[in-house]
Amino acid sequence: MTDGVRIRAAVPGDAGAVARMLAALADELGYAGRFASTEATIATYGHGERPLFATFIAEAETPVGFALSFPHFSTMRALPGVYVQDLWTAPEVRGQGLGAALLAEVAEVAARDWNAAYMALSVHAHNAAANRFYAGLGFGEVPDERAMVLDGPGFAALADPRRFIP
C-alpha cells in the first residue's frame, strides 16, 4: 500500500472532502451532470441522527481515497453482509493497493460490528479498469440477478401511503 497513507473512519468534519471525492468519481465516470451529493447531504445522511452509511477515508496529508458502505442482508444466504456503494482512489495513488486496503477495512469492520459474511457491490459496465480490479480480488457477477432502480415520480408514487386507497 502507499507509504504514509492511513485509513480511518470518517467524522462529520470530513463531509466536504467526501463530497469532493464523490464529485471526482462522478466526473471520471462521465456522470458529473447527474451528480447531486453535497457536503450537507453527506453530513445529514452519513453523520446525522440516524446515519445511513459509513465512510472510510484514506489520507496522507490530504484525503486520497474513500469507501462508502452500509449494512446489507441476503435472504438467499440467510446472512448479513455489507454493500459498498462507492470506492475511489486518487489517480496518483492507483495501482498501489489502496483500493483493496479500503475494501479490507470495510470488510473487517462489518464482520466485527454486525457479523457480515459477504460484500456486495455494483460496478459500472463501461469501467473496464474497475471490472478488472474487482475480478482480481475475486468478485464475480451474479448471473441470474440484474440491478434495477425505481426513482423519481415512480418511487414517489410507490411511497405514497394513499396508493392503495380505492
Q: Give the architecture (CATH level 2) of 6-159.
A: 3-Layer(aba) Sandwich (3.40)
Q: Which of 110, 114, 111, 68 is nearest to 89 (CA)?
A: 68
Measured CA to CA, the distance from residue 67 to residue 133 in angstroms comes to: 15
Domain ranges across the chain: 6-159
Q: Which of 69, 82, 86, 68 is nearest to 29 (CA)?
A: 86
CA end-to-end span of the chain: 60
Q: Is 140 exposed, middle or buried (0-12, 13-18, 19+ CB in 10 A)?
A: exposed
pLDDT at 147: 87
pLDDT in tens for each of the 166 residues of the chain? Answer: 667 899 999 999 999 999 999 999 999 999 999 999 999 999 999 999 999 999 999 999 999 999 999 999 999 999 999 999 999 999 999 999 999 999 999 999 999 999 999 999 999 989 999 999 999 999 999 988 888 999 999 999 989 988 776 6
